[in-house]
Structure formats: C-alpha cells, structure tokens
Amino acid sequence: GPLICAIAAGNAAIVKPSELSPACTDVLGRIIAEVFVPAEVAFFAGGPDVSTALLDLPFDHIFFTGSPAIGKIVMAAAAKHLASVTLELGGKSPVIVDETANVKKAARSIMWGKFLNCGQTCIAPDYLFVHEKILPVFMAEAKAAIADMFGADAKASPDYCRIINGRHFARVARLLDDATSHGARQAVGSLRDEAETFIGPTLLTDVDMNSAVMQEEIFGPLLPIVSYRDLGKAIGYINDNPKPLALYVYAGDQKQIDRVLQETSSGGACVNMSMLHFSHNNLPFGGVNNSGVGSSHGVYGFRAFSHERAVLRDKMSVIPMLYPPYTRRVRQMIKMTMTYFT
C-alpha cells in the first residue's frame, strides 16, 4: 500500500519488510524484482541489522508500520537527517458497547474484528467496555458469534489463524497467565498448543485493570471485557491512557455516540462496526501521538510521499512600487496593501 502511494507520487523507494513473516517477504521480493529495476524500487530482506543500516541513510521520507517502541527509534533516526515520517503504530484500541446498541450485531462485528488474523492486526479491538445492563446478553451473543465463525473447536477450523511464531506465542501466553493470576476469568477459551503456536479465541472477564493485558498491546486472540455503569468513567479511562490507533463505539443513541467521539481522541474511529475504516480509500488512515504520525491511503498516501511546493510567477506585480525610499505615497500604498491582505 505505501509503495503504491510512493510510486504514484513519483518517488524511487526502498522496501524493507518484516523479518517475522518470511513467506510474505519472499513473495514481495519476487514481485518487486519482476516489476522494477533496483534504481526504481530496491528490496532489502533481513533482520534488525538491515533496518539499522537503512536508517543511517538520508531518506527524504520514511514510512514505518509497527510498534510505538520501534516507531520512536525510526523517528529518532529520521531526525538526524531531518527526514519526514509517516508512522502507523498501534496501541490499545478500545471499544465501548452502550446499552442502546444492537447487541447481536455488535457482538458479531467485534468478534470478527478481534479474531481476524488471530488478533494480529494493529487496529484489532483491544479491550471492551460493555454497559452492565447488557453484559449477560452481550456475553451470550459473543460466544454464539465465535461458535458460528470457528465452530466448537477453533483449532480444527480452516478459518482460524495461528500466532506468527514461538516468541509471540510465549508473549501472548504470558499476558493470559498474568491476567488469570490477577483474578481474570476465561469466559471463553482455555486451549493452547505451543507446538502449533495456537491460542484459541479468549474472552476475559473480571479483569484487573492493573494486569499486563490491560497495559500492553495484546496483538493476539485475547479480549478483556469490562462492565461499566457511567460512560464518563469509561471515557476517562480511555483518555488517561496513550491515544489509540482506532476506537470503536456501538450504540443506538446518537447523543452517546457523539459524546464518545467528541470527548476522546484516536487515529480513526468506527460507529457500529470495527476495522473497516482501514479499507476505505476516501478516509485518511493513521494514528495520533503514541499511535502514529501522519496518514495514508488514497490521496492521503499520495500527499504523504509528496511535497506541495509553492510556485509564484511574476506577471504584473506592483511590488516594485513598494520599494524604498519610503515616501509618504509609498507608505500609504504599503498600508493599503497590508489592509487588503489582512
């Protein structure tokens, strides 16, 4: 996606994919080699050492997708060359399900968004605030949605993914174990298989707000669910934490929707749906503060890789009439000119 925008804006580019997805890296490398000469688009595979070497180069613009921690490293490296950046990062994207929401529709939408690619997307719903009045019904609908999508045994489903590698399996397992050790209950999910890097769809209730699963970006198939009574307190919790890449609100009451959108800040937001703002090319996609810098997709991606250079041509300029010496007549003309432009 970013490469298309860079090419459309007339740039040559260097592409460095993630070393965590070698199969995708291989496919991308073969496509780019078939289509472009290296002077147009150069492709570099490899690990952090390759990334570090590339960041030493004086790029005009750097586009990075990844974690806020690595985003800070990229931004610091870019600053050495005063290179501009577009950073699509992540964070903990919250969901609010109001008591006026269509509960069944909300549950299905959230379960799809959360467990897409086994939760390994930067805009996956990361934790839920569900109004206490509808919590039992929501939990029942969420369980039904998971069963409809992945069957009684998600491990046997051809539509349910795996954690990308052993290191991240251990990281997600650690978050789950820490949550349960702090009193969280697995309302759905218990099966895991380290050999297959499999962790099933997991819904957590009675979550300790200080546990790691509420502090770190999950990037996996765990979904903490917290009941609330006062919408202001739910909004306050969101605002007390770093600004997320996405925010989702489910409600039938437009006043409640407006309140959530007006009183919070996030890179993007969806009302009564999840994830889909990412795929809408007429919307800018990007973060704010901790969740990113700049935006992309469609014309916004074109602008990210462009510089809007102002060009003014002299045709019938009166400016020479304002040159010194500043006689009374010249001062009057200057005053008239300043009045016109202000």
Distance CA 58, CA 78 (A): 8
Catalytic residue chosen out of the listed positions 88, 99, 141, 217: 88
- Would you call 194 a catalytic residue per the annotation? no
Distance CA 124, CA 126 (A): 6
Catalytic residue chosen out of the listed positions 5, 99, 118, 122: 122
Of 242, 239, 209, nearest to 69 (Cα)? 242
Distance CA 207, CA 213 (A): 9
Quote the tokens at residue 14. 């260097």
Of 251, 307, 235, 230, nearest to 11 (Cα)? 307
Strand order in the sheet with 222-228: 185-188, 202-205, 222-228, 125-131, 93-97, 246-250, 268-271
- Would you call 88 a catalytic residue per the annotation? yes
Distance CA 299, CA 282 (A): 8
CB count in 10 Å sphere of residue 80: 10
Catalytic residues: 88, 122
